[in-house]
Structure 1
């Protein structure tokens, strides 16, 4: 018998907030009811407690990347409680507080998956995203509905354990922003005292500052927003560089060993290359699209610089960052909202009017 109720319907009734995509793309989210497939023997059913609101949710709603399938229900920073576990589930039991990030499946047989990089799955469709279906859809209309809902069904291998004592609401952003920034920082192989710059102190960036600081780096917050100076110091930055100030940019010329770019919208990367010391490297994550300006390879080649891209993290890295944050007392800064306020939150997100992450209290969805 499955570990849960004695029997479970073939369909799971679900309430969510999304859009059918009719009319203007990216229009207001509204209440939707739909059915999820019942959990298979290797899957768990979660009641969702909290869900983070990510910039990529907004991009998905507005079809900024040309990948959106409608109807669309966003949400991929999910913390929930296990309410049903299939017969073959061994890692989780009823009542466990767990997380679900960017992925709910992958082929698990390609070389990337076998090497623990499901986020880089080389199967026909890439990883199956928590919202919006396949990452590389190649004409498929396969869709998945995310965490702006009251429940979700997930394959066991893609469920994360929330460390005991960690606040579940503030854990939600770690499932995307946390792992997306932790992976590149880990690959920097930071040595104590190395100088790391973090571009954009928003949802991912504020977590990156705390992570890099805990790894022993001398952290500089790089932001165009003077109002973020004080909070950057509170997060653990030793320096703050205002990127619109030409004198400050010149002062930090050739200064950094590593730079992590966390800004979600297109920008010119060339000025930041000038901040790197020889053999330095910059990784751009969060921004999925062309750079503004023209990137001249001489900027890289003349000083042996490296420019890399990064997107979502693997399951192992996601669990690792959860454990790392629990060990080091790192807690994302959040503003808790009710589901009925999601459209106001989206408008504020467009204006960068949040410090630093909206998180939906999913109990409000039932109440609404």
Structure 2
């Protein structure tokens, strides 16, 4: 009897794995593989697969296993249950950063807990999506579009965004705001409230520019707006990026043969400006393929959102898709001079663990919602 039960359990787990959205998993693997190739190009002087390429690939493989296990064993009700505690914990950690955070490279963004060093703002990227998804899931649909019940959602976004801005981390604050507003809009936010909020946001932006941003951040924005011209200072990154992209042509200079990147004219080529390196070596065609992969990934995540029966599942999956869209848009706009340089990496391709952990956790939620799409979820206090 026990053997039969074990067999049934194994079949159930195997069945869940078989029903996973392998389209999403395949695209994530493809993007990570592109990252490995580009990091080998970054370290081409040694012609070695060690260091960055190996670290990037091993990190992704480990997170891939965790993502699949989380999707198989944790259903939508789990993410619903932890949404508010996760948000509250992330907010408390952001407050702790203000009090006892570590300062590195002029920014206070890290918190050391024993041997572990973490960046609470990364946790907030997912926490804001889950918390707002739960808020609208439990809210009476007749109250969704009213100003009174919109205020708590705005406060939930404003509190962490303000703390993250103060670190300072303009890029992450923008991602938190974008993801939060996207969930609010999909949850039923009315256009007139959006217009009012946009007008108010102009005043907030002006105040932040004059009072909250550091000098180097204002210099980057001034350079972007054309209010300053500093090609050897704040404008150097974008200038070199434009040269690399502009000289690439349709098929690029060839793998390992980019002049701006291989001769070290292009700064941050393994992180924020890795898309420039892709275009320089593989041309506009290669850049288009990468963007097409991201577009397909977003489309699959939105498809999961449309198929989910619970409002929480719909908003959580759509919120992850919106977060991915914000990453890609801000990074690619930044490297071609259509947005100020704010330090946003290219998802799954740029070197670094924080953004990869955030997005793989996000897609664990998407896969879980897809696997358990028929769960309704009630609108009670706890669920």
Q: Could you state the TM-score of these two structures normalised by the residue count of structure 2? A: 0.24
The answer to which structure has the higher helix fraction is 2
The answer to which structure has the higher strand fraction is 1
Rg larger for: 2
Q: Could you state the TM-score of these two structures normalised by the residue count of structure 1? A: 0.25
Structure number with higher relative contact order (C-alpha < 8 Å, ≥ 6 residues apart): 2
